[in-house]
Amino acid sequence: MKKTVLTLSIAGAMILSVSPFGSPVANAVGNGPTYGGNETINTSILHTYDEMVDYLKKEEAKQQDMELEVIGQSIKGRDLYLAKYMKNPENPTILFLTQQHGNEQLTTEGALEFIKHLGTNKMKGVTDEVNILIVPMLNADGAMGDVNFSLDDYIAKGDRNLTRYNAAEVDLNRDHVTKIQPETKALHNNVMKKYNIDYMIDLHHQGAMSERDGKLVSGSILYPTTPNADPEVVEKSKQLGAVVFEAIDEKGWGHLGKYSGGSAETISRNGIAVEYGISTLLFEMRGMSDHEYKSYVLGQKSNGYLIKQTITTLEATVNAIADGSIETKDTSFWDSLAYQTTRPSE
């Protein structure tokens, strides 16, 4: 019998599917609408924290292999969840982390759909070969706009605004060395140190105006770039990136660039690679769900393909780890993949 680790009972789930956000279409990703003051940006179509928790509990009740664990609490007292599939401790393990920044939510929407897929024939047998850990919405307070500072200048309409920062106005993805914030402590103490993790993808969103080769990107990726990371860890990170790049590129609607990231170990991509020897990949999707700057947000007609991009990424990586094909991936594409640049304002 499955063990259930739960502390809340919340009703009123909103079942996720890609269709309410629009279906991905060929060549749509780089050309999805930006925000020019007329596009609709409505946060009410996104899962609230309570709806997410209810969704996770319903999936756990349906899925034999899934177990929920509370890893800690946010500043405002929201339980932080880990969804885990751990059938064999000897199997390789991958962690997917979403929404360190509360206004970057479509990766969470995609992760929830991926969790549903893990309970269907679509992903049958994969959890026999790979352990999967998912921390959705690490910054729950920022995702709910429940913070100790004003969001009056933020653009989105709906039932709430979403912000990058946690309730104390701290960027969680700059706290992976000192680990002062409760959300970061929970992640490190009850996930990173508890489980033997081989790979991690840290899922984010960036501004909407980045481009490669003259085309707006659907996202960008990057491996650890600190000189303190073990070369073998970096190479496996590059292989993880190769899996993602190939999976998105072959769809026809994706267009990825190389992210221009620094070497600071306060960032999870670098710090976690160094501290735990985990091969990490940053994936920055195009556009944010809310922000005070127009060039950072994306019209919600673009949501569908970004959610699909997340699902494609998660499914491709677990399959590549499960069948071992990740170990033979050629990483030379990184040498020719151009860094994204910011398109000048018109």
Stated pTM of the model: 0.91
Q: Is the pLDDT of residue 40 over 80?
A: no
- Separation of alpha carbons 200 and 46, rounded Å: 24
The residues near 240 (Cβ < 8 Å, ≥ 6 apart) are 199, 201, 223, 279, 280, 281, 317, 326
Using pLDDT thresholds of 50, 70 and 90, give the confidence band for residue 23.
very low
Average pLDDT rounded to a whole number, residues 324-329: 98
Tens of pLDDT, residues 97-107:
999 999 999 99
**What domains can you pick out in the chain, each with its CATH number?**
23-339 (3.40.630.10)
- Note the pLDDT tens digit of each residue in 202-249: 999 999 999 999 999 999 999 999 999 999 999 999 999 999 999 999
49-94 tens-digit pLDDT: 999 999 999 999 999 999 999 999 999 999 999 999 999 999 999 9
CA angle 85, 54, 16 (to 5 degrees): 80
Q: How would residue 346 be classed by pLDDT, with cut points 50, 70 and 90?
A: low
Question: pLDDT band at residue 11, thresholds of 50, 70 and 90?
Answer: very low
What pLDDT score was predicted for residue 42?
87
